[in-house]
Structure 1
Amino acid sequence: MSTTEPHAPPAGVRLRIPPVLMYHSISPSGQPDPHRVRVHPDRFDRHLRLLRRLGLRGVPLAELVEAHDRGTAAGLVGLTFDDGYTDFLEHAAPVLARHGMTGTVYVVAGRLAGRNEWDDGPRLDLVDADGVRVIAAAGHEVGSHTLHHVSLRGADPAVLAEQIGDSRRVLEEVLQAPVPGFAYPWGHFDAAAADAVRAAGHDHACVTGDYLPGDRFTIPRFFVAPGDGTPQLLAKLARHSWRMRGVRATGRGR
């Protein structure tokens, strides 16, 4: 899970990979949600029931990437949760367990036990070190989401090294295990940021939306909005299938 297999496509090669869904907060809270980060647990349950009806199983992104490398990714969908909100343990994890699925939680390593200070509100609680360990112990992947949830596009080399490398080191110290995955805050990245993620020792990274090159360090994801029901989720899965038609099975686009 922590290393790139010998036959894995190198950076720059577009992956023909199954869809990856991006969630944030899973919560029944009725407080304002101006940044559209909250999906109700009942709606999340309906999403997973739809995946099961389609014969799909949600897995962490590291598992999905490894299955892609082996040629065994058919029938899988990546499930990712950005920021590391405490409601993942309270509301998302039980729904995932009920459906026999797991996911990746991208944690802001320098904000453990803090709150989402990068937004202008409302304030949401973030997991602490014990919470990170509980997430991993339940079979979910823990990935890095920088130290302080900063934009990496256009960042100085020193900022990239700190936000990416130090975040990975903090999480690996907490888990006493490798942290292969990374997600760019807000999906903001450039070539220098992707190079820094690779240099820090990560195996793969994901963005927001269907950005090119869509390689191992810019894996696209579909944002799941609070109001997305079955039709919207089906449309996103179909759109991903359509986009992948132009990508050869070896990973390279036409």
Structure 2
Amino acid sequence: MYHSVADPADDPYNITVSPERLDAQLDWLRRRGLRGVSMERLLDACARGRGRGLVGLTFDDGYRDFLDHAVPLLHHHDCTATVFVLPGRLGGDNAWDPLGPRKPLLDADGVRRAAGHGMEVASHGLTHVDLTRADGPTLRREVADSRAALADLTGGDVRGFCYPYGHADPRVLDAVRAAGYAYACAIAPGPLTGPLALPRIHVGQQDTAWRLRLKQATGGPRGRTLRPAAVTT
């Protein structure tokens, strides 16, 4: 689970990795015989029993630096990824974060360019609100309308959803299921399990090779929501 790829100097939320660090992390994966792919591709491969050696890479929030910095590095290492975007904030910034710098988000053209580069575009809701606190109409708009908006924007099916802040509960899962998503990513979904409550491992600027190895060893079992053969990060 990544977010922003930029200068991490001012990063109170620990969501930013430098391009140099991402390059080193992707190199570490490839040297270990692993390949980063989108969640859509990972899940399809797992369903066919071919998930071994694949790592699901996700980038939350749809920052503009995904296109500027992450996509070239992903291509360099023969990887793909899923970018979870907010169609209600296209061309805006991370106004939901009270601390830290304002980070520009992808605009409509940027989202289409990311898809054109072979990245999976999936939904992070419309505006990045905690869905567990949303009323019924807001929940439906954030979940269903964001899927429709992205489908119109990219011209393709939108299979994936990512819970803002990683927060989900049974009511939110029901809304995601009703909207027609095939999978949804959380962070640590607790008792929630299944394809609509996929756990992920946070990756940050401090994650050097030994820390990634430790996270893989201690966090990897959470990936069994998919299949034992798959490794997720």
Q: So what's the TM-score if we normalise by structure 2?
A: 0.92
String of CA shifts for 1:51-84, please: whole Å, max 9, x gaps: 1111110000111111111111111000000000
The correspondence for 1:118, drawn from 87, 91, 96, is: 96
Stretches (4+) displaced over 4 A:
242-250
- Measure the CA separation in 2 of the matches of 1:54 and 1:79: 16
Q: Tell me the SS of whatever aligns to 2:57.
A: strand
Aligned length: 228
- Measure the CA separation in 2 of the matches of 1:110 and 1:246: 30
Q: Which has the higher contact order (CA 8 A, sep 6+)?
A: 1
Are residue 214 (structure 1) and residue 193 (structure 2) matched? yes
- Is the 8 Å Cα contact of residues 210 and 221 (structure 1) preserved in structure 2? no
Q: Tell me the SS of whatever aligns to 2:193.
A: coil
Q: Which structure: greater helix fraction? A: 2
In structure 2, relative to structure 1, the CA distance for the partners of 1:173 and 1:124 (3 Å cut) is same
- Measure the CA separation in 2 of the matches of 1:62 and 1:203: 9
Tell me how far 1:122 sits from its aligned partner.
Answer: 1.2
Which has the higher mean CA deviation after the structures are superposed, 229-238 or 103-112? Answer: 229-238
What 5-or-longer segments of structure 2 have no aligned partner?
none
In structure 2, relative to structure 1, the CA distance for the partners of 1:71 and 1:246 (3 Å cut) is closer
What 5-or-longer segments of structure 1 have no aligned partner?
1-21
Q: Tell me the SS of whatever aligns to 1:224.
A: coil
In structure 2, relative to structure 1, the CA distance for the partners of 1:165 and 1:230 (3 Å cut) is same
Q: Tell me the SS of whatever aligns to 1:33.
A: coil
List aligned pairs for 1:24-173, cutoff 5 A: 24-28=3-7, 30=9, 32-120=10-98, 121-173=100-152
Tell me how far 1:240 sits from its aligned partner.
Answer: 3.3
The correspondence for 1:240, drawn from 196, 215, 219, is: 219
The share of aligned pairs that are identical, in percent, is 47
Amino acid at match of 1:201: G
